[in-house]
Chains A and B, each alone.
Chain A
Amino acid sequence: MTTRVDDVLRLGDDALIAAQRLGSWYASSPEMEEDVALANIGLDQLGAARLLLTYAGTLEGAGAPEGAGRDEDALAYLRSPEEFRNCRLVERPEPDFGHVIAKLLFLSAFQLPLYIALRSGADEQLAAIGAKACKESAYHLDHSSLWTVRLGDGTAVSHDRMQAAVDTLWPYVDELFAGGVAGLSFESLRPTWESTVDGVLASATLRRPAVGAASPDESRDELVALLAEMQELHRAHPGARW
């Protein structure tokens, strides 16, 4: 069984785009402790992204002429939006804090069973990354679950805004389970995801939306804008260092 570059990029890009979105909340969240929390979670996502992109570059270079495999920086900063493999959930805009939390809940409820499955999978490098990242994902899921309950089961206003965030992002959930990596089908993670998320939504007195998946033809303007900002410095000053 071989591990495909694109499948590893999917996971690395999910983590990278999530990290970029989380980082943009620094100094804008509801309280100071939350600024620190979101920055730390973003840092964890960035750490996983770096490991996954580095591994994708190694796979890309295997068996190819010298220098054919790109490094993490080339993959993060020099690919065009069409070459990114992330699911659309992570790139969706976050007009308020409820969206940040709903997105983190949906994402970490996927990443935790994903990394646990990779930990005992056949691909050794993915197993090492999974064993490391799953411990951090457990904190992300815990954090987003607590906030979902606090806001959903909070005031009338916080309830409505949390419900609106869940409703807005729900159409992008289905895409989490498309594809797979190294013999693991992401669809197999859906039952765990559903039982986790259903439990949190119920505790939060939130309604599970009954809406279909987003159209695959929707514009990717949000990703284009995100990458334009994220890649600007590297493209203007290739190889720049702090």
Chain B
Amino acid sequence: MTAVRDVVAAVVDPELRVVTIDELGILRDVAEESGRITVTITPTYTGCPAMDVIRSDIRRALAAAGHPESEVVTVLSPAWTTDWISPAGRDKLARAGVAPPGPAHVVPLTLAVRCTHCGSPDTSQISRFGSTACKALWRCGACSEPFDAMKAL
């Protein structure tokens, strides 16, 4: 089972290609019964257009690993939170130029978002809606460069 789970866990998010679905915290369960694999995932945002791609990527990865019979189930509850992104996932996001989110359960706007280019905490939000549903657009006051930051949810 570990091997099967590893195959699924290695599927990357199609919009944040540096992190896997496991690191993002959306992979909930991988179960096997009579050779048939059932993978349970949860959406980040309700309208996230990446979900369909993730479902087919999971099935393709399993088929390539010798498991043609698989099903991907989506559960809503408990609702995903950015707090489930693993420490490794957060590091990878930051290195790819997406500032990782602050904790979801405190007031997020009081925390400084560090510039992903120069590391300065002198940053400001340009728009709370960015290139994908999960990101906001920020700008650095020190180096003047814009960058994406993942919203706490």
Question: Is A59 interfacial (CB 8 A cutoff)?
Answer: no
How long is the Cα–Cα vector from A217 to B78 in the complex, in angstroms? 42
Q: Is B2 an interface residue (CB 8 A)?
A: no
Check A41/B45 contact, CB under 8 A, given A128-B79, A129-B76: no
Check A47–B46 contact: CB distance below 8 A. Answer: yes
Chain B contact residues, CB within 8 Å of chain A: 43, 45-49, 75-80, 126-133, 137, 151, 153
Whether A33 contacts B137 by the Cβ 8 Å rule is yes
A47 and B45 alpha carbons, distance in the complex (Å) = 8
A114 to B133, CA, bound (A): 22
Contact between B47 and A36, CB atoms less than 8 A apart: no
Smallest CB gap from A146: residue in B: B128
- Choose among B46, B78, B80, B126 the residue that contacts A44 (Cβ–Cβ < 8 A): B46
Residue from A43, A124, A127 whose CB has the most chain B CB atoms within 10 Å: A43
Distance to closest chain B CB from A187 (angstroms): 26
Q: Which of B46, B49, B129, B151 contacts A36 (CB 8 A)?
A: B129
Docked complex Cα distance between A51 and B51 (Å): 13
Q: Does A235 contact B (CB under 8 A)?
A: no
CA–CA, A40 and B129, complex, Å: 7
Q: List B contacts of A226 (CB < 8 A).
A: none
What B residues does A40 contact at CB under 8 A? Answer: 129, 132-133
B128 engages A50 (CB within 8 Å): no
Indicate if the CB atoms of A33 and B46 lie closer than 8 Å.
no
Choose among A43, A51, A139, A143 the residue that contacts B76 (Cβ–Cβ < 8 A): A51
Contact of B129 among A33, A46, A50 (CB under 8 A): A33
Contact at A44–B133, with CB atoms within 8 Å?
A: yes
**What chain A residues lie within 8 Å of B76 (beta carbons)?**
51, 128-129, 131-132
Q: Which residues of B contact A131 (CB under 8 A)?
A: 76-79
Q: How far is the CB of B44 from chain A (nearest CB, A)?
A: 10
The answer, among B75, B79, B133, for a CB contact under 8 Å with A43, is B133
CB distance from B15 to the nearest CB of A (A): 12
CA distance A217 to B48 in the complex (A): 38
Q: List 25 A-B contacts (CB under 8 A).
A: A33-B129, A34-B127, A36-B131, A36-B137, A37-B129, A39-B129, A40-B132, A40-B133, A43-B48, A44-B46, A44-B133, A45-B47, A46-B47, A47-B45, A47-B46, A48-B47, A51-B76, A124-B77, A128-B75, A129-B46, A129-B76, A131-B76, A132-B46, A132-B80, A135-B79
Instruction: Give chain A residues whose Cβ lies under 8 Å from the Cβ of B127.
Output: 33-34, 36-37
Among all A-B residue pairs, the 4 with the closest Cβ atoms? A47-B47, A47-B46, A37-B129, A33-B127
Decide yes or no: A50 and B79 within 8 Å by CB, A36-B127, A37-B129, A44-B133 being known contacts. Answer: no
Q: Which residues of A contact B137 (CB under 8 A)?
A: 33, 36
- Give the residues in chain B near A142, CB-CB below 8 Å: 128
Residue from A37, A45, A135 with most neighbouring chain B CB atoms (10 Å): A135
Any B CB within 8 A of the CB of A200: no
Measured between alpha carbons, how far is A158 from B17 in the docked complex, in Å?
41
Residue of B nearest to A51 (CB): B46
Q: How far is the CB of B24 from chain A (nearest CB, A)?
A: 16
A62 to B126, CA, bound (A): 47
